[in-house]
A and B are shown apart, each in its own frame.
Chain A
Amino acid sequence: MHATVLRAHPSERPEIALRADHLEVAYRDRVVWRDATFQIRRGEFVAVIGPNGAGKTTLFRLLLGLRRPSGGSLEVLGEAPRRGNPRIGYVPQRHTIDNDTHVAADALVRLGYSGTRWGPGWHFQAQQEAADAALDAVGASDLAAKSLGAMSGGELQRVFLAEALVGNPEMLLLDEPLSNLDLRRSRELVEVVHGLVRSRDVTTLLVAHDINPLIECLDKVIYIANGNVATGPPETVLTSASLTELYGVPVEVLHDSRGNIVIVGGENPHE
Chain B
Amino acid sequence: MTAFSWNFVTDLRAMWQYAFMRNAFAAGTIVAIVAGMVGYFVVLRRSAFATHALGHVGFSGAAGAVLFGVNPVFGLLLFTVSGGTGMALLGRRASTRDIEIGTVLAFMLGLGLVFLSLYNGYATEAYSILFGEILGISDAGVLLTLGAGVVVLAVIAALYRPLLFSSLDEDVAEAKGLPMLALNLGFMVILAVAISFAVQVIGVLLIFALMVTPAATAVRVTQRPLAALLVSTGIAVFSIWAGLFLAWYEQYPASFFIVATAFAIYLMVRGGQAIATRWVRPSFPGVGTDSSVGAESA
Contacts and interface: CB of A to CB of B under 8 A. Distances in A.
A10 interface: no
Contact of B175 (A83, A94, A97, A118): A83
Contacts of B250: none
Contact of A92 (B164, B175, B228, B293): B175
B287 A115 contact: no
A107 to B, nearest CB: 5
Given A102-B223, A184-B293, A111 B164 contact: yes
Interface string B147-165: 0000000000111111011
A109 to B, nearest CB: 10
B158 A66 contact: no
Contact of B165 (A94, A111, A119): A111
Interface in A18-57: none
Interface in B92-123: 93
B271 interface: no
B288 A155 contact: yes
A184 B165 CA distance: 31
A146 B158 CA distance: 27
Interface in B173-198: 173-178
A114 B178 CA distance: 12
B170 interface: yes
Contact of A111 (B158, B169, B219): B169
Nearest to A93: B171
A185 B161 CA distance: 32
Nearest to A116: B176
Contacts of B177: 83-85, 116
A145 interface: yes
A151 to B, nearest CB: 8
A120 B157 contact: yes
Contacts, number: 108
A108 B168 contact: yes
Contacts of A107: 223-225
Of A64, A102, A154, most buried by chain B (CB within 10 Å of CB) is: A102
Interface string B276-289: 00000000001110
Contact of B172 (A92, A145, A152): A92
A142 interface: yes
Contacts of A185: 290
Given A66-B175, A116-B178, A154-B290, A103 B223 contact: yes
B161 A115 contact: yes
Of B171, B219, B286, most buried by chain A (CB within 10 Å of CB) is: B171
Nearest to B297: A184
B161 A116 contact: yes
Given A96-B168, A142-B287, A155-B290, A115 B225 contact: no
Given A64-B175, A92-B172, A114 B161 contact: yes
Nearest to B221: A102
Given A64-B175, A103-B223, A104-B224, A97 B168 contact: yes
Nearest to B173: A115
Interface string A114-150: 1111111100000000000000000000110111001
A214 B176 CA distance: 27
B169 A108 contact: yes
A108 to B, nearest CB: 6
B270 interface: no
Contacts of B168: 96-97, 101, 103, 108, 111
A83 B93 CA distance: 21
A118 B225 contact: no
Contacts of A84: 175-178
Nearest to B285: A142
Given A104-B224, A108-B168, A154-B290, 19 more contacts: A83-B174, A86-B176, A90-B176, A95-B171, A96-B168, A96-B170, A97-B169, A103-B223, A104-B223, A107-B223, A111-B173, A115-B164, A116-B165, A117-B161, A119-B157, A119-B158, A120-B161, A184-B293, A185-B290
20 contacts: A83-B177, A85-B177, A88-B175, A90-B176, A92-B172, A97-B168, A97-B169, A101-B44, A102-B220, A102-B228, A103-B168, A103-B219, A108-B168, A111-B168, A115-B161, A115-B162, A116-B176, A117-B161, A121-B161, A146-B288
